[in-house]
A and B are shown apart, each in its own frame.
Chain A
Amino acid sequence: MDTLLQILSPDFLLRDALVASVLVGLVCPLVGVYFVLRRMVFLGVALPQVSSAGIAFAFLVFNVVVGPHEPFQLSERVLALIGSFTFTLAATIILAYFEQRRAMVEARIGTAYAIAAAATILLLAKDPHGEAQLVHLLRGDILATTGTSLVWMAAIFAAVVFALFAFRKELLLVSFDRDLAVVFGKRPGLWDLVLYLLTGVVISLGVMTAGPIATFGFLIVPPVTMHLIAGRMLTFSLGAAALGALTAFGGFYCAYRFDLPLGPAEVALASIALAVVAGGSGLRRAIGRRGT
Protein backbone atom coordinates (compact mmCIF):
# COMPACT_ATOMS: atom_id res chain seq x y z
CA MET A 1 0.00 0.00 0.00
CA ASP A 2 2.86 2.34 0.84
CA THR A 3 4.38 1.71 -2.59
CA LEU A 4 1.08 2.48 -4.29
CA LEU A 5 0.72 5.75 -2.38
CA GLN A 6 4.31 6.57 -3.22
CA ILE A 7 3.71 5.97 -6.94
CA LEU A 8 0.54 8.05 -6.89
CA SER A 9 2.22 10.93 -5.11
CA PRO A 10 2.72 14.05 -7.31
CA ASP A 11 6.34 14.18 -6.17
CA PHE A 12 7.09 10.63 -7.27
CA LEU A 13 10.56 10.63 -8.81
CA LEU A 14 9.56 8.44 -11.75
CA ARG A 15 6.21 10.16 -12.37
CA ASP A 16 7.05 11.02 -16.01
CA ALA A 17 8.08 7.43 -16.68
CA LEU A 18 4.85 6.17 -15.09
CA VAL A 19 2.68 8.51 -17.17
CA ALA A 20 4.59 7.59 -20.36
CA SER A 21 4.14 3.90 -19.62
CA VAL A 22 0.39 4.28 -19.04
CA LEU A 23 0.06 6.34 -22.24
CA VAL A 24 1.74 3.57 -24.27
CA GLY A 25 -0.56 1.03 -22.60
CA LEU A 26 -3.58 3.18 -23.41
CA VAL A 27 -2.86 4.01 -27.06
CA CYS A 28 -1.20 0.84 -28.42
CA PRO A 29 -4.38 -1.29 -28.01
CA LEU A 30 -6.43 1.29 -29.95
CA VAL A 31 -4.25 0.53 -32.99
CA GLY A 32 -3.93 -3.12 -32.01
CA VAL A 33 -7.68 -3.74 -32.35
CA TYR A 34 -7.25 -3.29 -36.12
CA PHE A 35 -4.32 -5.73 -36.13
CA VAL A 36 -6.55 -8.33 -34.49
CA LEU A 37 -9.61 -7.60 -36.64
CA ARG A 38 -7.65 -7.57 -39.89
CA ARG A 39 -5.88 -10.79 -38.84
CA MET A 40 -2.51 -9.04 -39.02
CA VAL A 41 -1.28 -10.04 -35.55
CA PHE A 42 2.06 -11.28 -36.90
CA LEU A 43 2.69 -7.75 -38.11
CA GLY A 44 2.58 -6.72 -34.47
CA VAL A 45 5.58 -8.95 -33.80
CA ALA A 46 7.64 -7.81 -36.74
CA LEU A 47 6.98 -4.07 -36.71
CA PRO A 48 8.47 -3.21 -33.30
CA GLN A 49 11.61 -5.03 -34.39
CA VAL A 50 11.62 -3.11 -37.70
CA SER A 51 11.18 0.07 -35.68
CA SER A 52 14.29 -0.82 -33.67
CA ALA A 53 16.24 -1.34 -36.89
CA GLY A 54 15.07 2.11 -38.03
CA ILE A 55 16.41 3.70 -34.86
CA ALA A 56 19.78 1.99 -35.26
CA PHE A 57 19.90 2.98 -38.95
CA ALA A 58 19.12 6.64 -38.20
CA PHE A 59 21.90 6.82 -35.60
CA LEU A 60 24.43 5.20 -37.90
CA VAL A 61 23.59 7.49 -40.84
CA PHE A 62 23.72 10.56 -38.59
CA ASN A 63 27.06 9.43 -37.23
CA VAL A 64 28.53 8.90 -40.69
CA VAL A 65 27.13 12.05 -42.32
CA VAL A 66 27.08 14.62 -39.49
CA GLY A 67 28.97 13.21 -36.54
CA PRO A 68 28.28 11.74 -33.11
CA HIS A 69 24.85 12.56 -31.70
CA GLU A 70 24.22 13.87 -28.20
CA PRO A 71 23.05 11.08 -25.90
CA PHE A 72 19.97 11.68 -23.71
CA GLN A 73 19.13 14.91 -25.59
CA LEU A 74 15.84 15.73 -27.27
CA SER A 75 17.64 15.78 -30.63
CA GLU A 76 18.57 12.14 -30.10
CA ARG A 77 14.93 11.20 -29.56
CA VAL A 78 13.83 13.15 -32.62
CA LEU A 79 16.46 11.38 -34.69
CA ALA A 80 15.36 8.03 -33.32
CA LEU A 81 11.72 8.87 -34.02
CA ILE A 82 12.44 9.77 -37.66
CA GLY A 83 14.32 6.49 -38.24
CA SER A 84 11.77 4.40 -36.40
CA PHE A 85 8.75 5.98 -38.09
CA THR A 86 10.23 5.79 -41.60
CA PHE A 87 11.13 2.11 -41.27
CA THR A 88 7.87 1.17 -39.56
CA LEU A 89 5.68 2.93 -42.11
CA ALA A 90 7.56 1.49 -45.09
CA ALA A 91 7.47 -2.02 -43.63
CA THR A 92 3.77 -1.74 -42.72
CA ILE A 93 2.80 -0.72 -46.24
CA ILE A 94 4.93 -3.43 -47.88
CA LEU A 95 3.81 -6.22 -45.50
CA ALA A 96 0.16 -5.14 -45.56
CA TYR A 97 0.25 -5.22 -49.36
CA PHE A 98 1.43 -8.83 -49.30
CA GLU A 99 -1.01 -9.61 -46.47
CA GLN A 100 -3.89 -8.72 -48.81
CA ARG A 101 -2.51 -10.98 -51.51
CA ARG A 102 -2.51 -13.84 -48.97
CA ALA A 103 0.59 -15.40 -50.48
CA MET A 104 3.29 -16.70 -48.10
CA VAL A 105 2.22 -14.15 -45.50
CA GLU A 106 3.82 -15.79 -42.46
CA ALA A 107 7.05 -16.41 -44.34
CA ARG A 108 7.30 -12.77 -45.41
CA ILE A 109 6.61 -11.43 -41.94
CA GLY A 110 9.03 -13.93 -40.38
CA THR A 111 11.68 -12.88 -42.90
CA ALA A 112 11.04 -9.20 -42.13
CA TYR A 113 11.47 -9.95 -38.41
CA ALA A 114 14.71 -11.88 -38.95
CA ILE A 115 16.17 -9.20 -41.25
CA ALA A 116 15.18 -6.40 -38.86
CA ALA A 117 16.63 -8.18 -35.82
CA ALA A 118 19.91 -8.93 -37.60
CA ALA A 119 20.11 -5.43 -39.10
CA THR A 120 19.59 -3.84 -35.68
CA ILE A 121 22.54 -5.70 -34.17
CA LEU A 122 24.79 -5.16 -37.20
CA LEU A 123 24.01 -1.44 -37.40
CA LEU A 124 24.69 -1.07 -33.70
CA ALA A 125 27.98 -2.88 -34.05
CA LYS A 126 29.03 -0.36 -36.69
CA ASP A 127 28.14 2.67 -34.55
CA PRO A 128 31.10 3.34 -32.28
CA HIS A 129 29.40 6.11 -30.30
CA GLY A 130 27.45 5.21 -27.26
CA GLU A 131 26.39 1.70 -28.12
CA ALA A 132 25.36 1.15 -24.53
CA GLN A 133 22.92 4.08 -24.59
CA LEU A 134 21.57 2.94 -27.93
CA VAL A 135 20.89 -0.49 -26.57
CA HIS A 136 19.00 1.21 -23.74
CA LEU A 137 16.92 3.18 -26.22
CA LEU A 138 16.18 0.12 -28.33
CA ARG A 139 14.97 -1.76 -25.29
CA GLY A 140 12.78 1.19 -24.39
CA ASP A 141 14.37 3.77 -22.19
CA ILE A 142 11.37 4.74 -20.14
CA LEU A 143 13.45 6.15 -17.31
CA ALA A 144 14.91 8.68 -19.75
CA THR A 145 11.46 10.21 -20.23
CA THR A 146 11.66 13.89 -19.41
CA GLY A 147 8.94 16.47 -18.93
CA THR A 148 9.49 17.86 -22.42
CA SER A 149 9.51 14.50 -24.19
CA LEU A 150 6.43 13.48 -22.20
CA VAL A 151 4.55 16.58 -23.36
CA TRP A 152 5.49 15.85 -26.97
CA MET A 153 4.53 12.23 -26.61
CA ALA A 154 1.18 13.09 -25.02
CA ALA A 155 0.46 15.60 -27.78
CA ILE A 156 1.28 13.13 -30.56
CA PHE A 157 -0.70 10.32 -28.91
CA ALA A 158 -3.63 12.70 -28.40
CA ALA A 159 -3.57 13.49 -32.13
CA VAL A 160 -3.48 9.75 -32.93
CA VAL A 161 -6.41 9.01 -30.61
CA PHE A 162 -8.38 11.90 -32.09
CA ALA A 163 -7.73 10.60 -35.63
CA LEU A 164 -8.68 7.03 -34.67
CA PHE A 165 -12.02 8.20 -33.26
CA ALA A 166 -12.68 10.86 -35.89
CA PHE A 167 -12.12 8.37 -38.72
CA ARG A 168 -13.48 5.31 -36.95
CA LYS A 169 -16.40 4.83 -39.34
CA GLU A 170 -14.11 4.86 -42.38
CA LEU A 171 -11.51 2.60 -40.73
CA LEU A 172 -14.21 0.17 -39.61
CA LEU A 173 -15.90 0.10 -43.01
CA VAL A 174 -12.72 -0.60 -45.01
CA SER A 175 -11.67 -3.22 -42.46
CA PHE A 176 -15.02 -5.03 -42.23
CA ASP A 177 -16.43 -4.72 -45.75
CA ARG A 178 -13.97 -3.36 -48.26
CA ASP A 179 -16.38 -3.93 -51.15
CA LEU A 180 -19.06 -1.80 -49.54
CA ALA A 181 -16.49 0.95 -48.99
CA VAL A 182 -15.74 0.88 -52.73
CA VAL A 183 -19.46 0.91 -53.57
CA PHE A 184 -19.82 3.99 -51.34
CA GLY A 185 -16.84 5.64 -53.07
CA LYS A 186 -14.74 5.72 -49.89
CA ARG A 187 -11.26 4.99 -51.39
CA PRO A 188 -10.08 2.10 -49.15
CA GLY A 189 -6.43 2.54 -50.16
CA LEU A 190 -6.41 6.03 -48.67
CA TRP A 191 -7.91 4.83 -45.38
CA ASP A 192 -5.46 1.93 -45.23
CA LEU A 193 -2.68 4.49 -45.54
CA VAL A 194 -4.17 6.61 -42.75
CA LEU A 195 -4.29 3.53 -40.51
CA TYR A 196 -0.70 2.61 -41.39
CA LEU A 197 0.49 6.16 -40.67
CA LEU A 198 -1.16 6.08 -37.25
CA THR A 199 0.25 2.59 -36.67
CA GLY A 200 3.73 3.80 -37.59
CA VAL A 201 3.55 6.73 -35.18
CA VAL A 202 2.24 4.61 -32.29
CA ILE A 203 4.77 1.81 -32.75
CA SER A 204 7.69 4.23 -33.18
CA LEU A 205 6.88 6.12 -30.01
CA GLY A 206 5.96 2.91 -28.19
CA VAL A 207 9.24 1.20 -29.02
CA MET A 208 11.30 4.25 -28.06
CA THR A 209 9.44 4.62 -24.79
CA ALA A 210 8.65 1.11 -23.64
CA GLY A 211 10.67 -1.13 -25.96
CA PRO A 212 9.61 -3.69 -28.58
CA ILE A 213 8.41 -6.35 -26.10
CA ALA A 214 6.00 -4.07 -24.23
CA THR A 215 4.85 -2.41 -27.46
CA PHE A 216 3.99 -5.72 -29.06
CA GLY A 217 2.38 -6.87 -25.82
CA PHE A 218 0.14 -3.80 -25.63
CA LEU A 219 -0.69 -3.95 -29.34
CA ILE A 220 -2.02 -7.47 -29.16
CA VAL A 221 -2.77 -8.81 -25.66
CA PRO A 222 -5.41 -6.28 -24.46
CA PRO A 223 -7.37 -6.43 -27.77
CA VAL A 224 -7.26 -10.25 -27.74
CA THR A 225 -8.49 -10.20 -24.13
CA MET A 226 -11.36 -7.79 -24.84
CA HIS A 227 -12.31 -9.71 -27.97
CA LEU A 228 -13.36 -12.58 -25.72
CA ILE A 229 -16.03 -10.50 -24.01
CA ALA A 230 -16.90 -7.49 -26.19
CA GLY A 231 -20.05 -7.60 -28.31
CA ARG A 232 -19.72 -4.15 -29.84
CA MET A 233 -16.89 -2.29 -31.55
CA LEU A 234 -16.91 0.65 -29.16
CA THR A 235 -16.75 -1.64 -26.11
CA PHE A 236 -13.98 -3.59 -27.80
CA SER A 237 -11.80 -0.54 -28.56
CA LEU A 238 -12.35 1.36 -25.33
CA GLY A 239 -12.17 -1.79 -23.20
CA ALA A 240 -8.84 -2.79 -24.81
CA ALA A 241 -7.43 0.71 -24.21
CA ALA A 242 -8.60 0.74 -20.59
CA LEU A 243 -7.17 -2.73 -20.00
CA GLY A 244 -3.87 -1.67 -21.59
CA ALA A 245 -3.63 1.42 -19.35
CA LEU A 246 -4.55 -0.61 -16.27
CA THR A 247 -1.99 -3.34 -16.94
CA ALA A 248 0.65 -0.69 -17.73
CA PHE A 249 0.00 0.90 -14.35
CA GLY A 250 -0.09 -2.49 -12.62
CA GLY A 251 3.08 -3.58 -14.43
CA PHE A 252 4.84 -0.39 -13.37
CA TYR A 253 3.77 -0.99 -9.77
CA CYS A 254 5.08 -4.58 -9.85
CA ALA A 255 8.35 -3.54 -11.52
CA TYR A 256 8.91 -0.81 -8.93
CA ARG A 257 7.78 -2.87 -5.95
CA PHE A 258 9.63 -6.09 -6.80
CA ASP A 259 12.54 -4.59 -8.79
CA LEU A 260 11.58 -6.24 -12.09
CA PRO A 261 12.25 -5.15 -15.68
CA LEU A 262 9.30 -2.95 -16.68
CA GLY A 263 8.36 -4.21 -20.17
CA PRO A 264 8.22 -7.93 -19.31
CA ALA A 265 6.36 -7.12 -16.04
CA GLU A 266 3.68 -5.23 -17.99
CA VAL A 267 3.30 -7.98 -20.60
CA ALA A 268 3.17 -10.64 -17.89
CA LEU A 269 0.37 -8.78 -16.12
CA ALA A 270 -1.54 -8.31 -19.38
CA SER A 271 -1.14 -12.04 -20.04
CA ILE A 272 -2.50 -12.88 -16.59
CA ALA A 273 -5.55 -10.72 -17.37
CA LEU A 274 -5.94 -12.60 -20.67
CA ALA A 275 -5.74 -15.96 -18.87
CA VAL A 276 -8.33 -14.90 -16.29
CA VAL A 277 -10.77 -13.56 -18.91
CA ALA A 278 -10.26 -16.60 -21.16
CA GLY A 279 -10.85 -18.91 -18.19
CA GLY A 280 -13.99 -17.02 -17.16
CA SER A 281 -15.26 -16.91 -20.71
CA GLY A 282 -14.70 -20.66 -21.16
CA LEU A 283 -16.42 -21.38 -17.87
CA ARG A 284 -19.42 -19.26 -18.87
CA ARG A 285 -19.71 -21.11 -22.19
CA ALA A 286 -19.49 -24.47 -20.40
CA ILE A 287 -22.23 -23.45 -17.94
CA GLY A 288 -24.32 -22.16 -20.85
CA ARG A 289 -23.99 -25.50 -22.67
CA ARG A 290 -25.04 -27.40 -19.53
CA GLY A 291 -28.02 -25.08 -19.09
CA THR A 292 -29.28 -25.87 -22.58
Chain B
Amino acid sequence: MSPNLIELHNASFGYDTQPVLQHVSLSVERGEFTVLVGPNGAGKTTLLRGVLGLIPVLSGRVVYHFDRKASPPGYVPQRDSLDSIFPLSAMEVVLMGTYAKLPPLWPVGRAGRQRAAQCLEQVGLATMGKRPFWTLSGGQRQRVLIARALAAEPEVLFLDEPTAGVDHEAETAIAALITELNRTHGLTVMLVTHHLDRIRSSVHSTILVDDGVATRRRLDVQSAP
Protein backbone atom coordinates (compact mmCIF):
# COMPACT_ATOMS: atom_id res chain seq x y z
CA MET B 1 0.00 0.00 0.00
CA SER B 2 1.33 3.41 -0.97
CA PRO B 3 2.21 5.67 1.97
CA ASN B 4 0.64 8.47 -0.05
CA LEU B 5 -3.12 8.90 0.00
CA ILE B 6 -3.26 11.58 -2.69
CA GLU B 7 -0.74 12.52 -5.36
CA LEU B 8 -0.78 15.46 -7.75
CA HIS B 9 1.38 15.14 -10.84
CA ASN B 10 1.97 18.39 -12.69
CA ALA B 11 -1.69 19.27 -12.15
CA SER B 12 -3.24 22.58 -13.18
CA PHE B 13 -6.58 23.82 -11.84
CA GLY B 14 -8.77 26.77 -12.75
CA TYR B 15 -12.14 27.94 -13.94
CA ASP B 16 -13.47 28.11 -17.52
CA THR B 17 -10.12 26.86 -18.88
CA GLN B 18 -8.32 29.77 -17.16
CA PRO B 19 -5.68 28.26 -14.85
CA VAL B 20 -5.40 29.60 -11.30
CA LEU B 21 -2.75 27.10 -10.19
CA GLN B 22 -0.30 25.47 -12.59
CA HIS B 23 2.07 22.51 -12.54
CA VAL B 24 1.31 21.44 -8.98
CA SER B 25 3.19 18.29 -7.97
CA LEU B 26 2.85 17.16 -4.38
CA SER B 27 1.57 14.33 -2.23
CA VAL B 28 -0.41 13.90 0.98
CA GLU B 29 0.51 10.94 3.16
CA ARG B 30 -1.90 8.71 5.04
CA GLY B 31 -2.68 10.10 8.47
CA GLU B 32 -1.06 13.43 7.64
CA PHE B 33 -2.44 16.76 8.83
CA THR B 34 -1.88 19.22 6.00
CA VAL B 35 -2.81 22.86 6.05
CA LEU B 36 -3.23 25.02 2.95
CA VAL B 37 -2.09 28.55 3.68
CA GLY B 38 -1.57 31.67 1.62
CA PRO B 39 -2.95 35.13 0.96
CA ASN B 40 -6.59 35.80 0.08
CA GLY B 41 -7.43 34.85 -3.49
CA ALA B 42 -4.19 32.93 -3.97
CA GLY B 43 -6.02 29.71 -4.86
CA LYS B 44 -6.16 27.67 -1.63
CA THR B 45 -9.82 26.80 -2.12
CA THR B 46 -9.18 26.18 -5.83
CA LEU B 47 -6.52 23.62 -4.91
CA LEU B 48 -8.80 21.95 -2.35
CA ARG B 49 -11.68 21.83 -4.84
CA GLY B 50 -9.36 20.51 -7.53
CA VAL B 51 -8.14 17.68 -5.30
CA LEU B 52 -11.75 16.87 -4.39
CA GLY B 53 -12.79 16.75 -8.05
CA LEU B 54 -15.14 19.72 -7.77
CA ILE B 55 -13.36 21.55 -10.58
CA PRO B 56 -11.78 19.89 -13.58
CA VAL B 57 -8.06 19.19 -13.77
CA LEU B 58 -6.96 21.32 -16.73
CA SER B 59 -3.77 19.32 -17.20
CA GLY B 60 -1.73 16.75 -15.29
CA ARG B 61 -3.18 14.12 -12.96
CA VAL B 62 -4.66 13.65 -9.50
CA VAL B 63 -4.18 10.11 -8.17
CA TYR B 64 -6.16 8.75 -5.22
CA HIS B 65 -4.68 5.76 -3.40
CA PHE B 66 -8.00 4.97 -1.79
CA ASP B 67 -11.37 3.79 -3.05
CA ARG B 68 -13.56 6.88 -3.29
CA LYS B 69 -16.71 4.72 -3.37
CA ALA B 70 -15.86 2.59 -0.36
CA SER B 71 -14.46 5.51 1.59
CA PRO B 72 -15.76 8.79 0.17
CA PRO B 73 -13.92 11.95 1.16
CA GLY B 74 -15.39 13.89 4.07
CA TYR B 75 -16.02 17.47 3.01
CA VAL B 76 -16.75 20.53 5.13
CA PRO B 77 -17.52 23.48 2.83
CA GLN B 78 -17.21 27.17 3.60
CA ARG B 79 -20.07 28.17 5.86
CA ASP B 80 -21.53 30.73 3.45
CA SER B 81 -21.91 28.19 0.66
CA LEU B 82 -25.06 26.67 2.18
CA ASP B 83 -28.48 28.30 1.91
CA SER B 84 -30.39 29.01 5.11
CA ILE B 85 -33.73 28.65 3.28
CA PHE B 86 -33.61 24.87 3.81
CA PRO B 87 -35.60 23.85 6.90
CA LEU B 88 -33.31 21.12 8.20
CA SER B 89 -32.67 19.74 11.64
CA ALA B 90 -29.07 19.13 12.72
CA MET B 91 -29.70 15.39 12.41
CA GLU B 92 -31.03 15.74 8.86
CA VAL B 93 -27.83 17.56 7.89
CA VAL B 94 -25.64 14.84 9.44
CA LEU B 95 -27.70 12.11 7.76
CA MET B 96 -26.65 13.53 4.38
CA GLY B 97 -23.19 12.13 5.09
CA THR B 98 -24.64 8.62 5.09
CA TYR B 99 -26.07 9.17 1.58
CA ALA B 100 -22.56 8.69 0.18
CA LYS B 101 -22.76 4.90 0.23
CA LEU B 102 -26.50 4.53 -0.36
CA PRO B 103 -27.71 3.78 -3.90
CA PRO B 104 -30.88 5.46 -5.22
CA LEU B 105 -34.15 4.09 -3.78
CA TRP B 106 -32.25 2.87 -0.72
CA PRO B 107 -33.52 4.65 2.41
CA VAL B 108 -31.34 5.59 5.35
CA GLY B 109 -31.73 2.63 7.68
CA ARG B 110 -31.29 2.17 11.40
CA ALA B 111 -27.53 1.68 11.00
CA GLY B 112 -27.25 5.00 9.16
CA ARG B 113 -29.22 6.80 11.86
CA GLN B 114 -27.07 5.26 14.58
CA ARG B 115 -23.94 6.29 12.68
CA ALA B 116 -25.25 9.86 12.36
CA ALA B 117 -26.09 9.97 16.08
CA GLN B 118 -22.58 8.72 16.92
CA CYS B 119 -21.02 11.39 14.72
CA LEU B 120 -23.08 14.09 16.43
CA GLU B 121 -21.91 12.72 19.76
CA GLN B 122 -18.31 12.68 18.53
CA VAL B 123 -18.45 16.42 17.82
CA GLY B 124 -20.07 17.11 21.19
CA LEU B 125 -23.59 17.80 19.97
CA ALA B 126 -25.39 14.60 20.98
CA THR B 127 -28.42 16.46 22.33
CA MET B 128 -28.75 18.89 19.42
CA GLY B 129 -30.03 16.50 16.74
CA LYS B 130 -33.60 17.79 16.71
CA ARG B 131 -32.64 21.47 16.78
CA PRO B 132 -33.14 23.39 13.52
CA PHE B 133 -29.70 23.63 11.90
CA TRP B 134 -29.92 27.36 11.26
CA THR B 135 -30.78 28.20 14.87
CA LEU B 136 -27.42 26.80 16.05
CA SER B 137 -24.45 29.09 16.62
CA GLY B 138 -21.80 29.41 13.90
CA GLY B 139 -19.43 27.11 15.78
CA GLN B 140 -22.13 24.50 16.39
CA ARG B 141 -23.11 24.55 12.72
CA GLN B 142 -19.50 23.92 11.74
CA ARG B 143 -19.34 20.98 14.13
CA VAL B 144 -22.56 19.59 12.63
CA LEU B 145 -20.93 19.84 9.19
CA ILE B 146 -17.87 18.01 10.53
CA ALA B 147 -20.22 15.33 11.90
CA ARG B 148 -21.80 15.11 8.43
CA ALA B 149 -18.36 14.61 6.91
CA LEU B 150 -17.59 11.88 9.45
CA ALA B 151 -20.88 10.11 8.71
CA ALA B 152 -19.50 9.24 5.27
CA GLU B 153 -16.83 7.14 7.10
CA PRO B 154 -13.99 8.85 5.26
CA GLU B 155 -10.26 8.19 5.23
CA VAL B 156 -9.56 11.83 4.45
CA LEU B 157 -11.25 14.97 5.66
CA PHE B 158 -11.25 18.17 3.57
CA LEU B 159 -12.18 21.35 5.41
CA ASP B 160 -12.48 24.78 3.79
CA GLU B 161 -11.95 27.49 6.41
CA PRO B 162 -14.02 25.76 9.11
CA THR B 163 -13.20 28.42 11.71
CA ALA B 164 -13.98 31.46 9.56
CA GLY B 165 -16.48 33.78 11.20
CA VAL B 166 -16.81 31.87 14.48
CA ASP B 167 -15.92 33.24 17.90
CA HIS B 168 -12.64 32.57 19.70
CA GLU B 169 -14.04 29.83 21.93
CA ALA B 170 -15.68 27.98 19.04
CA GLU B 171 -12.50 28.30 16.99
CA THR B 172 -10.51 26.63 19.78
CA ALA B 173 -13.08 23.83 20.11
CA ILE B 174 -13.13 23.16 16.35
CA ALA B 175 -9.32 23.15 16.17
CA ALA B 176 -9.18 20.68 19.09
CA LEU B 177 -11.78 18.46 17.43
CA ILE B 178 -9.93 18.32 14.10
CA THR B 179 -6.65 17.59 15.90
CA GLU B 180 -8.30 14.78 17.83
CA LEU B 181 -9.78 13.29 14.65
CA ASN B 182 -6.33 13.26 13.12
CA ARG B 183 -4.42 11.98 16.14
CA THR B 184 -6.87 9.54 17.73
CA HIS B 185 -8.79 8.32 14.71
CA GLY B 186 -5.96 8.51 12.20
CA LEU B 187 -7.94 10.61 9.73
CA THR B 188 -5.91 12.34 7.04
CA VAL B 189 -6.78 16.04 7.13
CA MET B 190 -6.49 18.73 4.45
CA LEU B 191 -7.49 22.07 5.87
CA VAL B 192 -7.70 25.56 4.37
CA THR B 193 -7.26 28.22 7.03
CA HIS B 194 -5.99 31.70 7.74
CA HIS B 195 -5.44 30.84 11.40
CA LEU B 196 -2.50 28.47 11.59
CA ASP B 197 -1.47 29.56 15.11
CA ARG B 198 -4.14 27.57 16.93
CA ILE B 199 -3.26 24.26 15.28
CA ARG B 200 0.45 24.73 14.48
CA SER B 201 1.54 22.10 16.99
CA SER B 202 -0.65 19.43 15.37
CA VAL B 203 0.16 20.10 11.74
CA HIS B 204 2.52 17.79 9.84
CA SER B 205 2.90 19.83 6.68
CA THR B 206 1.81 23.04 5.04
CA ILE B 207 1.09 23.80 1.41
CA LEU B 208 1.80 27.44 0.68
CA VAL B 209 -0.34 28.65 -2.18
CA ASP B 210 0.78 31.92 -3.69
CA ASP B 211 1.18 33.49 -7.09
CA GLY B 212 -0.25 30.50 -8.96
CA VAL B 213 2.19 28.07 -7.32
CA ALA B 214 1.70 25.53 -4.52
CA THR B 215 4.71 24.53 -2.40
CA ARG B 216 4.61 21.81 0.23
CA ARG B 217 6.72 22.09 3.37
CA ARG B 218 7.08 19.36 5.98
CA LEU B 219 6.97 20.59 9.58
CA ASP B 220 8.61 19.00 12.58
CA VAL B 221 5.57 18.47 14.80
CA GLN B 222 7.55 17.75 17.95
CA SER B 223 9.58 20.94 17.77
CA ALA B 224 6.75 23.16 16.66
CA PRO B 225 5.76 25.78 19.25
Contacts and interface: CB of A to CB of B under 8 A. Distances in A.
Interface string A44-79: 000000000000000000000000000000000000
B191 to A, nearest CB: 16
Interface in A173-188: 173, 175-177, 179-180, 182-186
Interface stretch (B35-43, B101-109, B207-215): B101-109
Interface in B54-92: 54, 68-69, 72-73, 75, 77, 81-83, 85-89, 92
Given A166-B105, A183-B54, A184-B152, A231 B87 contact: yes
B99 A173 contact: yes
Nearest to A170: B104
A41 to B, nearest CB: 11
The main secondary structure of chain B at its interface with chain A is loop
Size bracket, chain A contacts: 20 to 34
A184 B105 contact: no
Given A167-B105, A173-B99, A231-B132, A185 B77 contact: no
A166 B72 CA distance: 23
A75 to B, nearest CB: 34
B135 to A, nearest CB: 8
Given A166-B104, A176-B88, A183-B75, 19 more contacts: A36-B85, A37-B83, A39-B85, A166-B105, A167-B105, A170-B104, A172-B96, A173-B96, A179-B49, A179-B54, A179-B77, A180-B77, A182-B53, A183-B52, A183-B53, A183-B73, A232-B92, A233-B86, A233-B87
Interface of B: 49, 52-54, 68-69, 72-73, 75, 77, 81-83, 85-89, 92, 96, 99-100, 102, 104-105, 107-108, 132, 152
27 contacts: A166-B105, A169-B108, A170-B99, A172-B96, A173-B96, A173-B99, A175-B86, A176-B86, A177-B82, A177-B96, A179-B49, A179-B54, A179-B77, A179-B81, A180-B75, A180-B77, A180-B96, A182-B52, A182-B54, A183-B73, A184-B100, A184-B152, A186-B99, A233-B86, A233-B87, A233-B88, A236-B87
